[in-house]
Amino acid sequence: MPYVTVAGERTFYALYQGDLRGKRHLVLVHGAGGSHLDWPAPLRRLGGANVYALDLPGHGCSEGAGRSSIAAYRDFLLAFLDALGLEKAIVVGHSMGGAVALDFALHYMDRLAGLILVGTGARLRVLPAILTGLLTDFEATVDLIVSYAFGPSASEQLKRLGHQRLLQTPPQVLHGDYAACDTFDVMERLGEIRCPTLVIGGTADMLTPPKYSAYLRDHIPGAELVLVDGAGHMAMLEKPEVVAKAVSEFIASVI
Ligand code: COA
């Protein structure tokens, strides 16, 4: 599995080369405390595209330090694209990764072939119990996050795995991620985005409710919304085939 040095930090990404002509590049950006494993196989190995599922610094298999602002992750994403020589890509962001993707669109629009926003929003205020709890009682706060993160039909096994992975994230990295989300707000700037956009949200998402997805659809010019019935915040893990189908149809329409 490949690594690339980005901004002096050894960065891991899972790569699937599904487009040998090298035209369709999909970059998957995980959410708070996540890694490339937040993306299920049908997305990480989407036919017809070269799929790069990176681990942000301090996460998963990547070295380096986590950041505490969306702007810092946005610039890391730019450096990642530069390091891999990707002139243009479709960026797919989940939750905090969606905030990174939105901010990227507002700063580096010419590097985007499309934008896919999964379980995210234009503002991501965080429950104070999560923000402070991560510093005072990490394990109980991870329990709390997991209790909000999955929809009613998610299996116990999936929830257990999500719990394990979050517990493996260093507390300061997870706290930095949520602090980054808490100050993120581009509610008034969405009208500036000029690139094909797909919004995907779970109808049972408690962390970024469907209202957030509808706001993105209503304020990003031309954006489309796919609501995934019964899915929670981890819609792509809960309903992988539905999400992969929506992504696949979108990328076929934009490149
Ligand atoms: N898109 C659309 N509407 C949004 C929004 C978004 N991204 N973010 C906030 N809003 C709306 C809210 O629904 C609310 O509308 P209302 O006044 O009609 O109820 C209004 O804007 C203000 O909300 P907010 O900025 O969130 O402040 P708040 O003080 O009302 O609530 C929290 C703060 C933390 C309680 C709340 O944001 C929340 O429950 N967040 C979800 C849980 C969480 O921690 N998510 C993690 C995200 S990474």
Residues 6+ away with beta carbon under 8 Å from 157? none
Gap from CA of 242 to ligand 1 centroid (Å): 27
- Is any atom of ligand 1 closer than 6 Å to the C-beta of 244? no
Written as tens digits, the pLDDT of the chain (255 aa) is 699 999 999 999 999 999 888 789 999 999 999 999 999 999 999 988 999 999 999 999 999 999 999 999 999 999 999 999 999 999 999 999 999 999 999 999 999 999 999 999 999 999 999 999 999 999 999 999 999 999 999 999 999 999 999 999 999 999 999 999 999 999 999 999 999 999 999 999 999 999 999 999 999 999 999 999 999 999 999 999 999 999 999 999 986
Q: How far is CA 82 from CA 14, 52, 210, in A?
A: 17, 13, 34
- Is any atom of ligand 1 closer than 6 Å to the C-beta of 123? yes
Sheet holding 112-118, edge to edge: 3-6, 9-17, 50-54, 25-29, 89-94, 112-118, 197-202, 224-228
Q: Where are the beta strands (DSSP E) in the chain?
A: 3-6, 9-17, 25-29, 50-54, 89-94, 112-118, 197-202, 224-228
What's the predicted TM-score (pTM) here? 0.98
Provide the residue type at 136 as one letter: T
pLDDT in the model for residue 239: 98
What DSSP designation does 234 have?
Answer: T
Instruction: Answer whether 115's CB lies under 8 Å from 195's CB.
Output: yes
How are beta strands 50-54 and 9-17 bridged, if at all?
antiparallel
Gap from CA of 78 to ligand 1 centroid (Å): 28
Gap from CA of 43 to ligand 1 centroid (Å): 29
